[in-house]
Amino acid sequence: MSRPRLIALLLALGALVLYLPLTRHQFVNYDDPAYVTENDMIRAGLTWAGLKWAFTAWVVGNWHPVTMLSLMLDCQLFGANSGVMHYENALFHAANAVLLFTLLLRLTGRTAANAGPARPRPSDALWPAAFAAALFASHPLHVESVAWLSERKDVLSAFFGLLTLLAYAGYARRRLDAEERNPDAPRAAWSKDYFPALLFFTLGLMSKPMLVTLPFVLLLLDFWPLQRIKELRFSTTNLRLLLEKWPFFLLTAAFCVVTLWSQNGTGAVQSESNFPFAARIEDAVISYAEYLWQTVWPLNLAVFYPANGTEFQLLPKAVAMAVGLAVVSWAVWQARRAHPYLLVGWLWFLGTLVPVIGLVKVGAAVRADRYTYIPLIGIFVATAFGARAFIRRVRLKAPWPAVVACGVLGACCVLTERQLGYWQDSVTLFSHALAVTRENDIAHSNLGVALDKRGLRKEALVQYQAAARVAPTSSNAHNNLGNWYYESGDTKRAMAEYREALRLSPGSADARINLGNADASLGRYNEALTNYIDARRLNPRDPTTPYLVGRTLLQEGRSMDAMPFFRQSLRMDPNNPRVLAFLAQVLASDEDPKVRDGYAAYLMAQKASHLAGGSNPVMLDALGMAYAELGRFADAQSAARDALRLARRFDTNDVAILSSHLKLYENHQAVRQSFAGKPASQPGGIIRPGAD
């Protein structure tokens, strides 16, 4: 086995062993519900309806169908198995480390006859490439991207991004070879060799749109190590290389528009009034410096970092850090001829962070470890090749370079293993975040949700109250407190918290919906309808609000009036199995014969059950009701028995009612029920980090 292949194998095995604890990790309550645990489309596996949904749905403010399809495939093959799904992230991470190593060798290993001394032989680049890839595989800042299942989009987009760079490297190498053989040959703007790179770039953008800056990385690689750009100044050659990449820039522009539209539609983008541009510049400068410091000293890492402080407090710190960043930029620019990898690595880091540095403020996060997954490649490359130059300059003898490298990588592995342990479940994750950050209301809120789920209600209340105390102007904190009181039966106190949440954030559709649910539970249907309609105005693309309007009209006994709203909800989200199943129940069992439509109920219940993979007792119960309405009592009994079996296996609260339905079918009777006065849906309580 050749030395490069052996190193690639060791990189992959090392990453897989390092992340082996992921096989025991649970889902966390931070975005994982939206991506897997509460997403019926994902849990149903690969279906035709799921394929269509993946390409038309916005999940947590993002359009990333390739990521959705990868999660569906996991559920199709292994079910919603947290250990297997987490470890697939590790598999992609290991593959990315190998791809990075291969890319660096391919880029720096050009050996054409007239390549010149600036183009090193493969043996010269072997160990720097291996060290950069090993840093990528083992650095603690990358734990969040690998250990957080919702960040499948991170490792997946990096996978396709590195394949893009590899394909481009092959294309550029062929162009260089052709030009060296015949310098006078006509130069096409681009050729068929370009298509693999474009394909991989498109797949990467469809995994996570953070790759929009990759065309600029291609220009950096043209400067070093490809040396297609000789000087960083305007020239016809440089203009030709820029125009050569117009398909990449076109894709970048298209995905920027789609991403901003989707995030604006979900309310994730913060307005100028909430976050002035000057404050964003300050946050961006501080975040750049913080990322560099965490790269060197990766301690006290957290899943969520609260705001740095007020604009006035940040100004001196931002000015000092801006000066530091300017000094580094000046230094690498001065060294661009002797050490071009320093400039390329530095600009790679600065440039690929631009989409998430906060100039367009999305969500509540100031910075996040996951944002460094691709940008740190630039720092690792500059470090590795800079270390090689330093070793040669001081003539450092073996084995000291290897000893230092092993020491650095060993420290990274130890810290990564420790950081991995904090991601084993939600309670551990947010308890650690509270231990290493200050005034972290998001961590308090999500720890409260995790404790609540474990049945530790009093402990959860303490966390919700702490979140409201730390961030008294946080609408989310009061919304979560309202949810706690609502679920405890204290509806009036819950409504007071919801109203406070709306006072602080009048545009909060979630708080408006929760207030409507509380009104409906008290029989205040007119007030509930008003709140749902207001929520619909605030978030017109949310299919939940017309569904809730329909539920409220049912509670009022206005079944016929409710039907158009249910159908509107399904037009907006035609593959929502919960809405399909509920409407099927209404059409199959409502006391009003004018409402009942057995065949329509059958079609909806069948689709809902299919979307849920035939393993959801609620969907099967709806199918049984539809069969009974059509007089197919043998089929109704079969569906009811399957539903009852699943309900007993999952230990749900539906066993008694499913048993009563089965008895009706055995007596050749259909289910008849009134939906008037039945309770509305329970509110949710998980804080999302915002789209990235």
Rounded Cα distance, 600 and 622, in Å: 12
| 458 within some domain | no
Sign for the CA dihedral angle at 435, 440, 445, 446 comes to negative
**Do residues 587 and 536 share a domain?**
no
pLDDT score recorded for residue 33: 92
What the block records as the tokens of 382 is 């500059």
- 187 C-beta neighbours (distance < 10 Å), count: 12
| 459 within some domain | no
Residue 209 corresponds to which amino acid?
P
Rounded Cα distance, 255 and 409, in Å: 36
Given 376, 392, 421, the domain boundary residue is 421
The pair phi, psi for residue 288, each rounded to 5°, is -55, -45
Residues of the chain with pLDDT under 70: 1, 110-123, 184-192, 265-276, 308-313, 361-364, 650-652, 678-692
pLDDT score recorded for residue 68: 97
Instruction: Kindly give, in sequence order, each residue whose CB lies less than 8 Å from that of residue 162, ignoring residues fewer than 6 positions away.
Output: 96, 99, 100, 103
**Do residues 552 and 602 share a domain?**
no
**Do residues 142 and 52 share a domain?**
yes
DSSP string, 421-459: HTTSSHHHHHHHHHHHSSS-HHHHHHHHHHHHHTT-HHH
The pair phi, psi for residue 446, each rounded to 5°, is -75, -30
Instruction: Kindly give, in sequence order, each residue whose CB lies less than 8 Å from that of residue 291, ignoring residues fewer than 6 positions away.
Output: 141, 353, 367, 371, 372, 375, 376
Q: Which residues does residue 590 pair with via DSSP β-bridges, in sequence order?
A: 673
Instruction: Kindly give, in sequence order, each residue whose CB lies less than 8 Å from that of residue 349, ignoring residues fewer than 6 positions away.
Output: 375, 376, 378, 379
**Do residues 270 and 357 share a domain?**
yes
CB hemisphere CA count around 224 (13 angstroms): 22
CATH number at residue 634: 1.25.40
CB hemisphere CA count around 10 (13 angstroms): 11
Instruction: Kindly give, in sequence order, each residue whose CB lies less than 8 Å from that of residue 2, ignoring residues fewer than 6 positions away.
Output: none
**8 Å CB contact between 625 and 636:** yes
What the block records as the tokens of 157 is 């987009």
Nearest to 622 by CA among 671, 659, 669, 679: 671
**Do residues 584 and 552 share a domain?**
no
The pair phi, psi for residue 290, each rounded to 5°, is -65, -40
Pinpoint the alpha helices (H) of 488-543. Answer: 491-504, 509-521, 525-538
**Do residues 517 and 405 share a domain?**
no
**Do residues 524 and 582 share a domain?**
no
Give the pTM.
Answer: 0.87
What the block records as the tokens of 625 is 């009701």
What pLDDT digit, counting tens, does each position of 413-466 carry? Answer: 999 999 999 999 999 999 999 999 999 999 999 999 999 999 999 999 999 999
**8 Å CB contact between 650 and 620:** no
Rounded Cα distance, 541 and 509, in Å: 11
Encode 35-84 in three state secondary structure: HHHCCHHHHCCCCHHHHHHHCCCCECCECCHHHHHHHHHHHHHHCCCHHH
Query: To the nearest 10°, the Cα dihedral for 522, 523, 526, 527?
Result: 0
**Do residues 187 and 290 share a domain?**
yes
| 455 within some domain | no
By residue count, the chain amounts to 692
pLDDT score recorded for residue 310: 55
What the block records as the tokens of 624 is 């049984």
Given 377, 406, 421, the domain boundary residue is 421
Q: What's the total number of domains in the chain?
A: 3
**Do residues 540 and 589 share a domain?**
no
**Do residues 362 and 218 share a domain?**
yes
pLDDT score recorded for residue 690: 40
| 569 within some domain | no
Encode 360-416 in three state secondary structure: CCECCCCCCHHHHCCCHHHHHHHHHHHHHHHHHHHCCCCCHHHHHHHHHHHHHHHHH
pLDDT score recorded for residue 358: 78
What the block records as the tokens of 242 is 């820029």
pLDDT score recorded for residue 268: 55
pLDDT score recorded for residue 361: 60
pLDDT score recorded for residue 614: 78
| 523 within some domain | yes
Q: How many helices (H) and strands (E) does the chain have?
A: 32, 0
What the block records as the tokens of 60 is 């947590």
| 415 within some domain | yes
C-alpha 289, offset from chain centre: 24
Nearest to 131 by CA among 165, 155, 108, 161: 108
**Do residues 489 and 595 share a domain?**
no
CB hemisphere CA count around 29 (13 angstroms): 22
**Do residues 316 and 381 share a domain?**
yes
**8 Å CB contact between 148 and 181:** no
pLDDT score recorded for residue 543: 87
| 686 within some domain | no
**8 Å CB contact between 134 and 184:** no
Can you give the residue range of the structural domain that contains 133? 3-111+119-421
Q: Which residues does residue 59 pair with via DSSP β-bridges, in sequence order?
A: 62
| 86 within some domain | yes
Instruction: Kindly give, in sequence order, each residue whose CB lies less than 8 Å from that of residue 598, ignoring residues fewer than 6 positions away.
Output: 587, 588, 626, 629, 630
